[in-house]
Amino acid sequence: MNIKIGDLVRFIDEPIEGHITSIQANDIIGVTDDTGFEIPVLRTKVTLVHGNMRMPEDDFEESPAQANMPFVDKGIYIGIAGEQKDGLAKFYLINETSYELLVSIAEVSGTKTTGLFANAIPKHDYAQVYTANFSAVGKWPTFQIQIIRHTRQAQIQTQPISKEFRVKPLELINSKERVDMLNEKVWLYEIDKIEEDIGLDKLKSHFISHRPKGR
């Protein structure tokens, strides 16, 4: 059985369901249930539960009102849902734009990456891309996020998004923001934000313009 972190599984011998939050030695996996506790179990003792994530094929035809909405070119986020006291954190890729997204998310370890999620996300939709335990927040991975934006409408050309993303534990003391399509509050991180490039020339001009004038 091909499994990965984030998959929803069910125990064969017990009425327990949870998400895989670690893959350990000797064919042991860690499964975190709704109580937030990670349970070690042999991978042969669980079975995959399908349909735990929203997929493009689950999308429905857009209504005439949706078809007439103005084109939205910004609004791609990582949202982290869950309560620290409950233990389980769910990572979502949220697409508030009018683009269809082709998304690849990998875990970075040194010079290597391991794929965690790859799929298309329709416009104005979301997908769960990862699951982790709040008790191990300091060990949450660095993610390599790659996104291609696609639309059949004529728009200004966009370049693929490629960036690394990591949650700092202290950031989780910040307030959550409500996301209507998730119907809950999450810690929100903007992925398609344009990073200002402060070039060397601009830096030099800044210091020259602020240098005290000689007497």
pLDDT attached to residue 12: 85
The CA distance from 5 to 22, in Å, is 6
| pLDDT tier, 52 (very low <50, low <70, confident <90, very high otherwise) | very low
User: What is the rounded distance in angstroms from the CA atom of residue 186 to the CA atom of residue 120?
Assistant: 22
Indicate whether 65 pLDDT > 90.
no
Confidence band for 116, pLDDT divided at 50, 70 and 90: confident
pLDDT reported for residue 143: 95
Pairing of strands 177-179, 46-48: unpaired
Task: Give residue 57's pLDDT.
Answer: 44
What sign does the dihedral 122-125-131-137 (CA atoms) show? positive
